[in-house]
Amino acid sequence: MDTGSFVGGLVAGLAICIAVGLFVRFVFAPRNSAVAAAAAEHAVPLLEVKSDSALLQSQDEPSQATLLRLQHMFEVTGDKLSQISKHMMAEMKKGLASDECAMKMIPTHVVRRPKGDEVGSYLALDLGGSNFRVCEITLDGRGGTRSRQSKHVVTDDLKTGTGAALFDFFADQVKHFLMNDGQNEYSAEEIESRNYKLGFTFSFAVNQVSINKGYLLLWNKGFSADNCVGEDVVRLLSEAFRRKKLNIDVTALVNDTTGTLVSHAYGAPDTYIGVILGTGTNAAYVEKVENITKFKSSGTAKDMIINTEWGAFDDEMVVIPRTKYDHKVDRGTSHPKTYTFEKLISGMYLGEVVRYVLLDLVKTGEIFVAGGSASKTLKIQYAFETAYMSRIERDHSLDLSDVRTVLEDLMHIPSTTLADRRLTRAICEMVGKRSARLSAAAIAGVVTKMNKLDGCTVGIDGSLFELYPHFSNRMRDALHEILGFSADNIVLEQARDGSGQGAALIAALATSITE
């Protein structure tokens, strides 16, 4: 063979290899978005940070130096997760002994879980943070339920106005809900003449002194309505019902975490923890009464559900690494330096962390240079929603077209390059992953404290856990890093309507399961 035909053969061979490679990639590229998402999560990361900064960089890729710097800030290593988990156990013990701790460890007065044979119709009100729901739950006595509900947005004006206006709004919505059940319409007089029992899911820190009495300790999640802190929220609600002529007994005051635990246990008896990953984050678990040393028990119950209020975990900032962006988010809230764990984790804040990172990169000229600037929208507090992060992380298109939609159409960035969009996606991944890993570290701490490493179910409610791509896989990976094989014994399950059904169940059982 002469040199010419050898080179020719080589070139032809190479061309065939490339063509076959492209064909295989095209044909076998995952089309289904879930498959694509799983593949992207577990196989090839979209952005691989290369340690060799001397590598020639394509214009379509963000700066490796920027990526490395950010990754270093947001990464939580396996060792760090273990430390966080141990610190969680120590803080839980402290909170069980004293009221003076940041993490309140509130005894809920709920001392056992339902059996599944409870019957009757009950109302539940659920104030989570973003939404307010009215539910009617019918327990069928065989572990099943029927429910109907109405959902309402709580406006910023209501959140920050007068307490009376806020509670009157709740009472008005209940009245509307009862006057029309979807099939029949009832007059106000008919509704006013009936008696109802209601469970109130109120997902803020209260000092709960009995099953239907609890004093609001502080607002968080953007609420600051006046004349509420220090008051019994059941009294505030009952007075609003009276003002609206409604005959409703508020028989249980429930935190959404407790509701989630109880309602998930109704169908999955091995549930010992309820977790919220929604607007905020929190957890409730079953503790031995003898370990709750700050609680003077008057009954014989051996166990009681504790509402941890873990949103305030590590408020002393001794174990979890924070970035300058986290401090900015914190300073911008109505309650700086408190509930700082929540601000690293939950739906209300994740988008805000990303927004501050983007603004900083605009300032240093590392992003959106082509468009010349950020946008007015990007400068608005909370304008970058956590739901956008989900959308961005779910985008596996070659040109990241959905990321473009978010940045250019929703955030009004004048124009973006592929490198900008990849960088934005990488930032969302870092912030989203950190949230999942920190939540897992907290869960690992609670499970270990309970001595349930040999098996238990965690019921998890909230849009963040439900809708953020890869969230549960990332939690699971982190649990493995912390607990090794024992992580296999811990089941993370989506809990549905814990706050509605749980409140109704606890209201139904208020006389028999409380002390």
Active-site amino acid positions: 133, 203, 256
- β partners of residue 210: 213
Q: Read off the tokens for 493.
A: 């399950």
Binding mask 356-395 for ligand ADP (x = CB under 6 A): -----------------------------xxx--x-----
Closest to 395 measured CA to CA, from 361, 418, 415: 418
Q: How far apart are CA 314 and CA 278, in angstroms?
A: 20
What separation, in Å, do the N-terminal and C-terminal C-alpha atoms of the chain show?
Answer: 94
| 40, containing H or E segment | helix 33-42
Q: Read off the tokens for 133.
A: 């729901």
Give the three-state DSSP class for 391: helix
How many residues bind ligand ADP, per CB under 6 A? Answer: 17
Q: Which is nearer to Mg ion, 63 or 150 (CB)?
A: 150
Q: Read off the tokens for 291.
A: 């370990």
Rg (CA), the chain: 26
Report the site for Mg ion in 270-289 (rule: CB under 5 A): 278
What is the longest distance spanned by two Cα atoms in the chain?
A: 103
User: Counting contacts by CB under 5 A, is residue 128 touching Mg ion?
Assistant: yes
* Residue span binding Mg ion (CB under 5 A) among the ranges 206-214, 340-348, 493-501, 506-514: 493-501
Q: Which of ligand ADP, Mg ion, none binds 348 (CB below 5-8 Å, type-dependent)?
A: ligand ADP
Four-residue CA torsion sign, 368, 350, 334, 199 = positive
User: Counting contacts by CB under 6 A, is residue 279 touching ligand ADP?
Assistant: yes
Q: How far apart are CA 88 and CA 355, in angstroms?
A: 29
Q: Are 284 and 258 in contact (CB under 8 A)?
A: yes
- Output the smallest distance, CB 462 to ligand ADP, in A: 4
Q: Which is nearer to ligand ADP, 133 or 244 (CB)?
A: 133
Q: Which of Mg ion, ligand ADP, none binds 385 (CB below 5-8 Å, type-dependent)?
A: ligand ADP
Identify residue 225 by its one-letter amino acid code. A
- Output the smallest distance, CB 460 to ligand ADP, in A: 10
Q: Which of ligand ADP, Mg ion, none binds 220 (CB below 5-8 Å, type-dependent)?
A: none
Binding mask 103-142 for ligand ADP (x = CB under 6 A): -------------------------xxxx-----------
Stated length of the chain: 515
Q: How far apart are CA 381 and CA 302, in angstroms?
A: 47
Identify residue 149 by its one-letter amino acid code. Q
Q: Which of 348, 353, 483, 487 binds ligand ADP (CB under 6 A)?
A: 348
Q: Which is nearer to ligand ADP, 107 or 128 (CB)?
A: 128
Report the site for ligand ADP in 443-472 (rule: CB under 6 A): 462-464, 467-468
Positions that interact with ligand ADP (CB under 6 A): 128-131, 278-279, 347-348, 385-387, 390, 462-464, 467-468
Positions that interact with Mg ion (CB under 5 A): 128, 278, 499
